[in-house]
A and B are shown apart, each in its own frame.
Chain A
Amino acid sequence: AQSVTQLGSHVSVSEGALVLLRCNYSSSVPPYLFWYVQYPNQGLQLLLKYTSAATLVKGINGFEAEFKKSETSFHLTKPSAHMSDAAEYFCAVSGPGGSQGNLIFGKGTKLSVKP
Chain B
Amino acid sequence: EAQVTQNPRYLITVTGKKLTVTCSQNMNHEYMSWYRQDPGLGLRQIYYSMNVEVTDKGDVPEGYKVSRKEKRNFPLILESPSPNQTSLYFCASKQGGGTEAFFGQGTRLTVV
Do A and B actually bind?
A: yes
A32 closest partner in B (C-beta): B98
- Give every chain A residue within 8 A of B94 (Cβ-Cβ): 101, 103
CA distance A107 to B45 in the complex (A): 12
CA distance A13 to B38 in the complex (A): 24
B103, A44: Cβ atoms under 8 Å? yes
Contact pick for B97, options A42, A100, A104, CB 8 Å:
A100
Tier of interface size on chain A? 20 to 34
- What are 28 A-B pairs with beta-carbon distances under 8 A? A9-B40, A32-B97, A32-B98, A34-B101, A43-B103, A43-B104, A43-B106, A44-B90, A44-B92, A44-B103, A46-B101, A49-B100, A51-B98, A52-B98, A94-B98, A96-B97, A100-B97, A101-B50, A101-B94, A102-B45, A103-B45, A103-B92, A103-B94, A105-B35, A105-B45, A106-B42, A108-B42, A108-B43
B42, A46: Cβ atoms under 8 Å? no
B 45-69 contacts with A by CB, 8 A: 45, 48, 50
A 77-115 contacts with B by CB, 8 A: 90, 92, 94, 96, 100-108
Using known A-B contacts A32-B97, A49-B98, determine if residue A43 contacts B41 with beta carbons closer than 8 Å: no
Mark A residues whose CB is within 8 Å of B: 6, 9, 32, 34, 42-44, 46, 49-52, 90, 92, 94, 96, 100-108
A105, B105: Cβ atoms under 8 Å? no
CA distance A105 to B43 in the complex (A): 6
Mark B residues whose CB is within 8 Å of A: 30-31, 33, 35, 40-45, 48, 50, 90, 92, 94-98, 100-101, 103-106
- Give every chain B residue within 8 A of A32 (Cβ-Cβ): 97-98
A100, B100: Cβ atoms under 8 Å? no
